[in-house]
């Protein structure tokens, strides 16, 4: 059995996990399951990237020591992955002692090979991304995040990245699938061809990092530190059995990353490894972004959706199916509750759910729950052969497309088979055959054909729908587990004749669209307002639904509708444009946030409003956790007279909508590209 070692990015712990992070981990979990069903020993590493400025600032804002803060957030990631049933074999936190040892070892290897020197840098720097921009001037937007850069002058340790231009280009040439998809590979090649500057790998202005072994209070640049997690997590530099495991599993077969961090993985990482004389990973695959309301889902944009409410309402399989089917892997894709529920209802409830339910119900009713024997030539027709041929084709197509990371096409092929079998049932009308005793052999053939196709569908869909495919498998009365099936051995005719099916239950109950969306919104609101961490139960009366148990209240039959929205308050008195012009509203960005002592309601915020940095006190502490606000764009009323609240002078007011029927504030969101200081009119 050959090994297949894959990784997700190591997520920053400056914020709670959202659907963007979940997307990467779900895809990695699908690949892991698929490779296992191909017979590989597939092992997956995930983890958290816990050093650096962003994390340090978030911890400060939460009034916590960085280690205690990261302990808490990393736990949220793990709890969410567990709750969603995502399986991983290794978890690395970059604040673990074993990791520091590995990073220092990498440094020594690279230094010994002559690729490190001490130099100084003066120029624009992005504090958010901890990036020396190298070109242009302070104030220019950061090429990664678009935030304004600031001038810094620093002595640093540099890595001779420039020496790796040609070796990297050779790597992309010799190993054309090192960077995938193809379009991204071309981007990487042109970036490297454009010339590589040496890279500063130390930071003197930061404490929260791994100390460099140079004795001058520098810490490692967060990327030199983080990438190494892929090796530490499986035993690099740990000695003994751990080290042996690293030798067996390294190089990684796949680093799965979002497109915005491809450069670090496809350029810096192989260059570090080449310099250290260590084997290079076999490939990097960059996927696109999950967009919500046309914008990248991210904390700073304030347009976050969490996986947990979706899991509670429709089960993790519904979410997995949507993400893999709706988004062409490698490209950006939009997420909306509307599309999510539509996909669930049409493809899962209607197509696969109905196929499973009616096939199994009829076997139960007409054959007393025994898989019928397809009878000989007399009762066999061309349509049966067509289903069989289609199933054989689908096994081939689904396996090949999944193998090429074309998940959406693979699922389309599987659902093509589902549609063909549903059509076959409609055309062959087993319910009519059941009324005619002399048609019993034909009835047996039709139901056998449908059940066998259903078995094949459950095996092929298992990497994406692990829970539901398992349910269908068990309802078919099959032994073993669906995920233990080997794809290479899957073929028509393996359904044991005469086997007894189990109790038939709907696998995907239909959801009432409006009620489901309302419930999803309510849960999401509750989660963000309460600052609840994944894994905790919702505080609200809606009973938490177990995985794969869709929320009762959202089901189509007799569900209690969610409470209607309370009426909006009456409109105020009209004012003139001149009255309005007196109000100076600006776009700002929260730099720091902390609770005001002695009250549960107030947060003290430091807000960059373009022209200056302001302190403001806002009554939003019951709705927002301080750390969730760092980096977030806000709208403020900038020309209010200062006012003292709890001894702190508040210079401005943050604009928020107030939910009718409660006094819960919801901050107005502003796209990230709007510069701080922009005026609203
Ligand atoms: N810590 C670095 C990665 C270091 S890897 C050695 C980092 N962390 S992150 O928390 O910002 O996570 C980035 C990854 O999360 C992305 O590369 C992507 O895999 C996932 N996503 C975060 N937001 C996303 C979307 N809106 N859409 C899709 N994936 C996104 O960068």
Ligand 1 mutation pick, 21, 73, 286, 291, max ligand atoms within 8 A of CB: 21
Using alpha carbons, select from 346, 350, 324, 326 the residue that is nearest to residue 336.
Answer: 326
- Minimum CA distance residue for ligand 1 atom 17: 258
Q: What percent of the chain has pLDDT over 70?
A: 93
Identify whether residues 370 and 433 lie together within a single domain.
yes
The structural domain count of the chain equals 3
Instruction: Calculate how far, in angstroms, residue 271's C-alpha sits from the geometric centre of ligand 1.
Output: 21
Instruction: Calculate how far, in angstroms, residue 18's C-alpha sits from the geometric centre of ligand 1.
Output: 10
- pLDDT interval class at 598 (50, 70, 90): confident
- Whether 182 is in a domain gets the answer yes
Report CA Rg, the chain: 28
Round to whole Å and give the CA distance between 451 and 389: 15
For 214-234, what is each residue's pLDDT tens digit?
989 999 999 999 999 999 999
pLDDT at 555 over 60: no
**Strand ranges inside 495-642, DSSP E:** 585-595, 603-608, 613-618, 633-637
- Minimum CA distance residue for ligand 1 atom 30: 20
Using alpha carbons, select from 49, 48, 66 the residue that is nearest to residue 57.
Answer: 66
Identify whether residues 90 and 180 lie together within a single domain.
yes
Please identify, by atom number, the ligand 1 atom nearest to the C-alpha of residue 261.
17
- Whether 496 is in a domain gets the answer no
pLDDT score recorded for residue 537: 42
Identify whether residues 110 and 255 lie together within a single domain.
yes
- Whether 649 is in a domain gets the answer yes
Looking at residue 485, the DSSP 8-state letter turns out to be: -
Which of 77-81, 378-382, 533-537 has the weakest average pLDDT? 533-537
Identify whether residues 253 and 369 lie together within a single domain.
no
- The CATH number given to whatever domain includes residue 81 is 3.40.50.620
Identify whether residues 354 and 449 lie together within a single domain.
yes
Contact 598, 647 (CB under 8 A): no
Dihedral Cα 19, 542, 85, 83, nearest 10 deg = 80
- Whether 501 is in a domain gets the answer no
pLDDT score recorded for residue 569: 66
Question: Which residues sit opposite 295 in a β-bridge?
Answer: 292
Residue that terminates a domain, selected from 474, 489, 504: 489
Instruction: Calculate how far, in angstroms, residue 419's C-alpha sits from the geometric centre of ligand 1.
Output: 36
pLDDT at 548 over 70: no
For 457-467, what is each residue's pLDDT tens digit?
999 999 999 99
CA angle (64 as vertex; 61, 67 as ends), nearest 5: 120
Round to whole Å and give the CA distance between 343 and 331: 19
Instruction: Calculate how far, in angstroms, residue 5's C-alpha sits from the geometric centre of ligand 1.
Output: 19
Please identify, by atom number, the ligand 1 atom nearest to the C-alpha of residue 12.
10
Please identify, by atom number, the ligand 1 atom nearest to the C-alpha of residue 256.
19
Domain range for residue 448? Answer: 344-489
- Out of 169-183, 202-216, 280-294, give the one with best mean pLDDT: 169-183
- pLDDT interval class at 61 (50, 70, 90): confident
pLDDT score recorded for residue 133: 84
Residue that terminates a domain, selected from 462, 489, 516: 489
Cα torsion angle, 131, 137, 139, 145, sign: negative
pLDDT score recorded for residue 661: 59
Looking at residue 660, the DSSP 8-state letter turns out to be: T
- Whether 502 is in a domain gets the answer no
Contact 157, 121 (CB under 8 A): no
Contact 151, 140 (CB under 8 A): no
Instruction: Calculate how far, in angstroms, residue 129's C-alpha sits from the geometric centre of ligand 1.
Output: 13
In this prediction, residues 668-674 reach a mean pLDDT of 78
For 142-152, what is each residue's pLDDT tens digit?
887 788 888 88
Arithmetic mean of pLDDT over the chain: 90
Which of 135-144, 269-278, 328-337 has the weakest average pLDDT? 135-144
Round to whole Å and give the CA distance between 177 and 282: 8
Identify whether residues 225 and 357 lie together within a single domain.
no
Identify whether residues 431 and 479 lie together within a single domain.
yes
Contact 613, 586 (CB under 8 A): no
- pLDDT interval class at 127 (50, 70, 90): confident
Dihedral Cα 49, 50, 51, 52, nearest 10 deg = 80
- Whether 393 is in a domain gets the answer yes
Residue that terminates a domain, selected from 472, 489, 506: 489
For 467-523, what is each residue's pLDDT tens digit?
999 999 999 999 999 999 999 999 999 999 999 999 999 999 999 999 999 999 999
- The CATH number given to whatever domain includes residue 457 is 1.10.730.10
pLDDT score recorded for residue 552: 36
- The CATH number given to whatever domain includes residue 608 is 2.40.50.140
Identify whether residues 49 and 166 lie together within a single domain.
yes
Peptide bond into 236 cis (omega under 30): no
- pLDDT interval class at 530 (50, 70, 90): low
- Whether 21 is in a domain gets the answer yes
Peptide bond into 281 cis (omega under 30): no
Residue in the block written with tokens 């808490």 = 72
pTM here is 0.80
Identify whether residues 267 and 362 lie together within a single domain.
no
Identify whether residues 60 and 189 lie together within a single domain.
yes
pLDDT at 263 over 80: yes
Identify whether residues 350 and 472 lie together within a single domain.
yes
* SS3 per residue for 220-254: ECHHHHHCCHHHHCCCCCCCHHHHHHHHHHCCCCE
Identify whether residues 168 and 251 lie together within a single domain.
yes
For 301-336, what is each residue's pLDDT tens digit?
778 899 999 999 999 999 999 999 999 999 999 999
Residue in the block written with tokens 């810490």 = 219
Round to whole Å and give the CA distance between 37 and 459: 9
In this prediction, residues 543-571 reach a mean pLDDT of 40
Please identify, by atom number, the ligand 1 atom nearest to the C-alpha of residue 49.
1
- pLDDT interval class at 536 (50, 70, 90): very low
- Whether 531 is in a domain gets the answer no
pLDDT at 109 over 50: yes
H-state helical runs in 206-331: 222-226, 229-232, 240-249, 262-263, 269-276, 307-314, 316-326
- Minimum CA distance residue for ligand 1 atom 25: 20
CB within 6 Å of ligand 1 — which residues? Answer: 9-12, 20-21, 23-24, 49, 226-227, 229, 257-258, 260-261, 289-290, 296-298
Coil, strand or helix: which one is 462? coil
- pLDDT interval class at 672 (50, 70, 90): confident
């Amino acid at each position: 059995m050959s090994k297949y070692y894959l990784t997700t990015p190591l997520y920053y712990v400056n914020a709670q996990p959202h659907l963007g992070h979940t997307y990467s981990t779900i895809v990695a979990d699908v690949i892991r399951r698929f490779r296992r069903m191909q017979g590989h020993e597939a092992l997956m590493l995930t983890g958290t990237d816990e050093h650096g400025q962003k994390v340090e600032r978030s911890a400060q804002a939460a009034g916590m020591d960085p280690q205690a803060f990261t302990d808490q957030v990393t736990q949220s990631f793990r709890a969410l992955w567990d709750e969603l049933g995502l399986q991983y074999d290794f978890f690395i936190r970059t604040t673990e002692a074993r990791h520091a040892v590995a990073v220092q070892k990498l440094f020594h290897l690279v230094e010994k090979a002559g690729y490190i020197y001490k130099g100084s840098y003066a120029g624009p720097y992005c504090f958010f991304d901890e990036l020396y921009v190298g070109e242009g001037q302070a104030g220019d937007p950061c090429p990664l995040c678009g935030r304004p850069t600031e001038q810094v002058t620093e002595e640093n340790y540099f890595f001779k990245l420039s020496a790796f231009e040609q070796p990297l280009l050779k790597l992309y040439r010799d190993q054309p699938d090192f960077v995938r998809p193809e379009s991204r590979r071309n981007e990487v090649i042109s970036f490297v061809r454009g010339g590589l500057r040496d890279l500063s790998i130390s930071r003197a202005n930061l404490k929260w990092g791994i100390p460099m072994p140079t004795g001058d209070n520098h810490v490692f640049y967060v990327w030199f530190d983080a990438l190494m997690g892929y090796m530490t997590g499986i035993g690099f530099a740990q000695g003994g059995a751990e080290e042996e495991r690293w030798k067996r599993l390294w190089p990684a077969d796949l680093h799965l990353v979002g497109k915005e961090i491809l450069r670090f993985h496809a350029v810096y990482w192989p260059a570090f490894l080449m310099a250290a004389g260590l084997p290079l990973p076999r490939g990097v695959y960059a996927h696109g972004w999950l967009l919500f309301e046309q914008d990248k889902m991210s904390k700073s944009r304030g347009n976050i959706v969490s996986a947990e409410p979706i899991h509670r309402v429709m089960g993790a399989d519904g979410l997995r199916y949507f993400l893999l089917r709706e988004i062409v892997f490698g490209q950006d894709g939009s997420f909306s509750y509307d599309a999510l529920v539509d996909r669930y209802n049409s493809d899962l409830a209607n197509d696969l759910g109905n196929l499973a339910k009616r096939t199994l119900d009829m076997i139960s009713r007409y054959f007393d729950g025994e898989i019928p024997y397809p009878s000989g030539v007399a009762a066999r027709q061309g349509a049966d052969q067509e289903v069989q041929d289609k199933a054989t084709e689908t096994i081939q197509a689904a396996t090949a497309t999944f193998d090429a990371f074309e998940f959406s096409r693979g699922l389309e092929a599987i659902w093509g088979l589902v549609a063909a079998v549903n059509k076959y049932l409609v055309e062959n009308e087993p319910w009519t055959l059941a009324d005619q005793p002399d048609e019993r052999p034909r009835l047996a053939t039709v139901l056998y054909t449908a059940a066998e196709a259903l078995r094949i569908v459950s095996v092929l869909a298992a990497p994406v729908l692990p829970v539901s495919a398992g349910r269908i498998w068990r309802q078919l009365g099959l032994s073993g587990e669906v995920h233990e099936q080997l794809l290479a051995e899957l073929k028509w005719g393996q359904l044991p004749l005469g086997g007894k099916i189990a109790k038939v239950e709907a696998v995907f109950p239909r959801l009432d669209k409006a009620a489901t969306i309302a419930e999803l919104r309510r849960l999401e609101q509750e989660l963000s307002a309460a600052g609840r961490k994944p894994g905790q139960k919702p505080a609200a009366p809606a009973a938490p639904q177990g995985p794969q148990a869709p929320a009762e209240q959202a089901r189509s039959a007799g569900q209690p509708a969610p409470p209607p929205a309370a009426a909006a308050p009456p409109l105020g008195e009209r004012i003139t444009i001149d009255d309005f012009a007196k109000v100076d509203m600006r776009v700002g960005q929260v730099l720091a946030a902390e609770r005001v002592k002695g009250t549960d309601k107030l947060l003290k915020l430091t807000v960059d409003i373009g022209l200056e940095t302001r302190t403001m006190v806002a009554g939003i502490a019951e709705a927002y956790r301080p750390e969730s606000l760092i980096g977030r764009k806000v709208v403020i009323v900038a020309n209010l007279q200062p006012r003292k609240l709890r001894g702190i002078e508040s210079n401005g007011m943050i604009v928020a909508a107030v939910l009718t029927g409660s006094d819960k504030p919801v901050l107005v969101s502003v796209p990230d590209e709007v510069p701080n200081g922009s005026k609203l009119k």
